[in-house]
Amino acid sequence: MAELKYREALNRALFEEMRRDPLVFVMGEGIAERGGSYKVTEGLLKEFGPNRVIDTPIAEASFTGAGVGAALIGTRPVVEILFVDFTTLILDQIINQAAKYEFMSGGQGKVPMVLRTQGGAGNGLAGQHSQSLEALFYHIPGLKVVMPSTPYDALGLLKAAIRDDHPVIFIEHKLLYMTKGEVPAEEYVVSLGQADIKKPGEDVTVITYSYMTLKCLEAAHALEKEGIRAEVVDLRTLSPLDKKTLLESVSKTGRAVIVHEACKRGGVGADIAAMLMEEAYDELDGPVLRICGKNTTIPYNLELEKACVPSVAEIIAGVRTVL
């Protein structure tokens, strides 16, 4: 075991996969020479050279489309978009091209591409650099959506994403890059589509993912002192969704709280709540609660920004209300 930062874990995943498979390459803005804004691609240029570690012009739609094309002929591009906010510029290539090619070609072609990006609020970066846009991708058939919360998961899931034969949207969180966690020295992969029970409990299921997992764990530990045993389920992969783990947990606890940073309206939580209603109605002892980001553009002012995303106190208070 070694302690790695989230960003170091991602970096190790890229090194390992690029060493393993010469068809894996990375592409994005400032990722080669500069090593990326969050240092995730640091050192890759030196080992793998400019043919596989590619700095692009600011041409998101086109270099993402270039990733799709390169993937179609059998390479495995890992395309980086600096902020999830800028994925709005590439939606045609993701939604109409990458997500649909395999289906529409009757399975003749595949798009084994990973789109790495980063989202979330917390640094005073205002409305166009702080969003949580995973619901856009979650909504689209043909895409896998991965949002790891720990260095261990980040490493294992990125490796699985690169090996996956389908387009994967891999969304990191800007507040996680410097967080640390234990990571085994030996190689491992975390399969896509498997949630992880980050803290077992009997009384209530708290369903979450990405940075909010840390806040939910903090809340769960605080609740433990009051004798409330919350089970924290980290989805890790939103799509495919690990319904089995969710249904098992909810059958055990009878209560569910869903926590995410993204806006409440139309969020992933709404879909999960509806799924629980449809598939676990008899197991539930009360309505499913959602604790989510406010339905607003993220403001620049730090106090306003803080008010837009769920706090530990809000999660604690929310969990108490469902018991």
User: Which residues of this chain interact with ligand TPP, rule CB under 6 A?
Assistant: 29, 58, 60, 82, 86, 89
Catalytic residues: 60, 129
**Residue 58 contacts another protein per CB under 8 A:** yes
Residues 257-286 that bind another protein (CB under 8 A): 265
**Residue 124 contacts another protein per CB under 8 A:** yes
**Residue 313 contacts another protein per CB under 8 A:** no
Place of tokens 């979650």: 138
Residues 2-31 that bind another protein (CB under 8 A): 29-30
**Residue 236 contacts another protein per CB under 8 A:** no
Are 214 and 149 a contacting pair, CB within 8 Å? yes
Which structure tokens are listed for 66? Answer: 């270039």
Which phi and psi angles does 150 have, rounded to 5°? -130, 160
Instruction: Pick what 16 binds: ligand TPP, another protein, none; C-beta below 5 to 8 Å, kind-dependent.
Output: none
**What is the Cα 261 distance to its own chain's centre?**
12
Place of tokens 């924290």: 232
* Least Å from the CB of residue 321 to another protein: 19
Toward ligand TPP, which CB reaches closer, 82 or 298?
82
Toward another protein, which CB reaches closer, 123 or 251?
123
Beta strands in 38-113 (DSSP E): 53-55, 76-80
Q: Is 47 helix (H, G, I), strand (E, B) or coil?
A: helix
Toward another protein, which CB reaches closer, 191 or 301?
301
The site for another protein, by CB under 8 A, has a size of 34
CA-closest candidate to residue 256, choices 221, 219, 204: 204
* Least Å from the CB of residue 34 to ligand TPP: 11
Place of tokens 């106090």: 303
**Residue 317 contacts another protein per CB under 8 A:** no
Which phi and psi angles does 166 have, rounded to 5°? -120, 160
Instruction: Select from 97-105, 123-131, 168-176, 206-214 the region that touches another protein (CB under 8 A).
Output: 123-131
Contact pick of 300, 313, 320, 321 for another protein (by CB under 8 A): 300
Contact pick of 1, 19, 62, 321 for another protein (by CB under 8 A): 62
Are 253 and 202 a contacting pair, CB within 8 Å? yes
Which structure tokens are listed for 169? Answer: 């949207």
Place of tokens 């980050």: 198
Burial of 294 (0-12, 13-18, 19+ CB in 10 A): middle
Binding site for another protein (CB under 8 A): 29-30, 33-34, 55-62, 85-86, 89, 123-129, 265, 294-297, 299-304, 307
